[in-house]
Chains A and B, each alone.
Chain A
Amino acid sequence: MKILVVDDDEMVRFVLTEKLAESGFSATAACDGRSAVELFHNTLFDAVLLDLKMPGMDGIETLRELRKHDPDIPVIMVTAFGDIATAVEAIKLGAYDFVEKPPQVSRIMLTLKRAIEKATLERKVRDLGKSVEESAALKQAYQKLRELDQAKNTFLSSVSHELRTPLTSIVGYADVSRKKIMKLIPEFSPDNPKNIKILHQVEANLEFLISESERLTGLIESILDLTAMEAGTAEWKWEPLSLSQVIENAAADYSQKLKGKGLEFVVAIDDDLPLIKGDRLRISQVLSHLLSNAVAFTDQGRVALRAKKEKNKILVSVSDTGRGIIASSQGLVFEKFSQLGDALTDKPKGVGLGLPICRLIAGYHGGKIDVESEPGKGSVFTLLLPVEEAMKA
């Protein structure tokens, strides 16, 4: 089995090629993306271990080039501190999995063996498909299998990276803070500006620790929520619901935040909204998420929360004058791990589970959620709740 190791760090290249050789693989190393692509064109490899962050051609660009040449090659990304945006991008481009640096040799070997096994099986299934005159049913089943496998891989990789990233930061910052304090204690003097500076650094680190811990907690809650809803095991508390009241409460919760950001906040709720049967907390969760997104992505102008009855539907909309979402990404914002930040070609915010959860909640109420947006002008998210359906729930 021939493995291509691509990394700009000689230590990583050395360890991986030596250990691969010890395990019976034939390993070739490349120190950058361009050399890797060149090698790939001249040699048949069975798998690639590819660094994500490299000078010149980075891991993502290299992955694209390699897969142009061989779309089935198993590629495992090696990254120091994987961020979700690049992680998801690489998985979408067909990377099998990620391992973090420093790379633990035994884990890499295991992942590599699994990747090769999977690629071999896929090839066998494909060959089988050919041998039975490319049976349409088999091809269809194979395609479905690939889609399911890809979805599972995307989910698992994204989740594991999202869990590890804040944990790595938490451990790192806690360790740095501990060391700073340990160093400071024997020589501490309140009059020494250097000592005060260190205390401020530790304070900033602790703030970061708290925010990363909160992010992690939020992520875990979102995953549990989403999993339970998808599996149909989530608990629902159906009751006759005054949407006006739920909307007013959400508006009250966000008015300070909007004011604090200097944004105008318009609330317009029709007087004659009928009661529906719904889950108060879940509807509040949807409104809270939509308002939170509006605050996050609007730097100036206005956010509006409106509700009205139209025929047998209640329309609740959250509109903003924010950055908007490019047309090609509007359909993706309700997909798992497709963050709004991505869709706006901006830095990701959140983990990309909020809107998929909102869509599931709307669905459980017999309704739906839509978005209309224009880049640079703003977005309108509309929650439609069919009154009759909701009453039956």
Chain B
Amino acid sequence: MKDQEQIDRVRALQWLDGDEKMLARIKMIFKRNIPSQVDQLRGFLDAGDKSSTELIAHTIMGSSAMLGASGMCDTAREIERSAIEGDMNSARLSFAGFVDEYEKVMAELAEEGGKL
């Protein structure tokens, strides 16, 4: 994987037993679903809603792990962990790093859009 790549294609293909077509299709689902999930996460963080933050961060973590987007997965995990511990300040702090990773992943997906 090149340094600038956010999506670890090799890792993602491991889960899918090497099915390239399936990877392309889950990328499409990811692109369609993730922006609204990120919006929800932002809203729950602003509202200080711990359990909803935990659940949506968990879902985002699972989706990004499946795609091989480890940076995004790690930061979502940080948010989930902070929410579980009830530390919403840390969750909000981690959100900035998460958005950074999320934007990089979306940019990469947009760039390879034609290949999907």
Q: Do A and B come from the same complex?
A: yes
Instruction: Say yes or no: is A15 at the interface (Cβ < 8 Å to chain B).
Output: yes
- Inter-subunit contact B74/A11 (CB<8 Å): no
Contact between B62 and A80, CB atoms less than 8 A apart: yes
Residues of A close to B17: CB separation below 8 A: 104-106
Q: Which of B61, B62, B70, B77 contacts A12 (CB 8 A)?
A: B62
Of B14, B33, B62, most A-chain CB atoms within 10 Å: B62
Total contacting residues, chain B, CB less than 8 A: 25
Contact A101 B22 (CB under 8 A): no
Measured between C-beta atoms, what is the minimum distance from B69 to chain A in Å?
Answer: 11
Neighbouring B residues of A179 by C-beta, 8 Å: 71
B9 within 8 A of partner (CB):
no
Task: Please name the residue on chain B nearest to A8 by beta carbon.
Answer: B59
Q: CA–CA, A172 to B61, complex, Å?
A: 13
Q: B26 and A101: CB pair below 8 A? A: no
User: At the interface, yes or no: A301 with Cβ under 8 Å from chain B?
Assistant: no
- Min CB distance B107 to A, Å, is 18
CA distance A12 to B25 in the complex (A): 12
From A7, which residue of chain B is reached at the shortest CB distance? B62
Question: Which chain B residues lie closer than 8 Å to A14 at the CB level?
Answer: 25-26, 29
Chain A interface residue count, CB cutoff 8 Å, equals: 23
Query: Across the interface, do B61 and A80 meet the contact criterion of CB distance under 8 Å?
Result: yes
Interface string of B15-59 (1 = CB under 8 A from A): 111010010011001100100000000000000000010010011
Would you give the shortest CB distance from B68 to chain A, in whole angstroms?
A: 9
Which residues on B sit within 8 Å (CB–CB) of A103?
Answer: 15
Chain B residues with CB below 8 A from A18, complex form: 22
Contact B71 A11 (CB under 8 A): no
Are B55 and A53 interface neighbours, CB within 8 A? yes
Cross-chain contact B62 with A102 (CB below 8 angstroms): yes
Is A11 a contact of B63 with CB atoms below 8 Å? yes
**Any A CB within 8 A of the CB of B66:** yes
Q: Give Cα distance in the complex from A335 to B22, angstroms.
A: 44
Contact B15 A10 (CB under 8 A): no
Q: Which residue of A lies closest to B27 (CB)?
A: A11
Contact in complex: B66, A105 (CB < 8 Å): no
- A10 and B74: CB pair below 8 A? no
Question: Is B30's CB under 8 angstroms from A11's CB?
Answer: yes
Please measure, in the bound complex, the distance between the C-alpha atom of A12 and the C-alpha atom of B61, giving whole angstroms.
12
Alpha-carbon distance between A53 and B26 when the two chains are bound, in angstroms: 21
User: Is there an interface contact between A101 and B62, defined as CB atoms closer than 8 Å?
Assistant: yes
Tell me if A389 counts as interface (CB < 8 A to partner B): no
Given contacts A11-B30, A175-B70, 9 further A-B contacts (CB under 8 A): A9-B63, A15-B15, A54-B55, A80-B62, A80-B65, A101-B66, A105-B17, A106-B17, A172-B77
Instruction: Please list the residues of chain B having a beta carbon within 8 angstroms of any beta carbon in chain A.
Output: 14-17, 19, 22, 25-26, 29-30, 33, 52, 55, 58-59, 61-63, 65-67, 70-71, 74, 77
